[in-house]
Amino acid sequence: MSRMLKPPIHARKFVSVDPDKCVGCGVCEYICSYEKEKVFNPLKSRIRIVRLGLTINMSLACRLCEDPPCVASCPRDALKQSEETGVILVDEDKCNGCGWCIEACDYGAIMLHPDKKVVFVCDTCNGSPKCVEWCPEKALDFTTKDVVAQKSRISAVKKLFYEVLRT
């Protein structure tokens, strides 16, 4: 039996959004809350829609940081990161809902559960995120940091190319 090795940070998969495709419909929030809580309630979703102005919408979920500040900031050691997947695990018995991890998260990916008063975060649905599956605009992707970085580089090059053509 072979022992699983910790995947390198660049190989960890997380839910990413293409803001050019996201229309802010909220299907991801509803399907997440139903999958995890059996209710259609965006406040109980592990993914959030953020609306910036009238036309920019983005879904936010945990990015599986290499040295997650949320884990480091927890005074009760209620959070830890899975070595296999990078997913943030919450020990609800230890969490008192102080919110230090919420403040520490650079992505706004940790929320306080409205009923339980403990924090909760995306667990990627065990590697098969329902939000990605159900997104009607195909704005969500289950991907790695390397792929996101490559898409960003391609986008930047295209913008530069179009800018050169305009001048």
H helices present in the chain, as ranges: 27-37, 69-73, 100-104, 130-134, 145-166
**What pLDDT score was predicted for residue 156?**
81
CATH topology of domain 9-166: Alpha-Beta Plaits (3.30.70)
pTM exceeds 0.85 for this model? no
Q: Copy the structure tokens of residue 117.
A: 């008063």
Q: Exposed/middle/buried for 98, CB within 10 Å: 0-12, 13-18, 19+?
A: middle
Q: What is the pLDDT of residues 60-117, one digit of tens each?
A: 999 999 999 999 999 999 999 999 899 999 999 999 999 999 999 999 999 999 999 9
**What pLDDT score was predicted for residue 1?**
42
Query: Has residue 6 got a pLDDT over 60?
Result: no
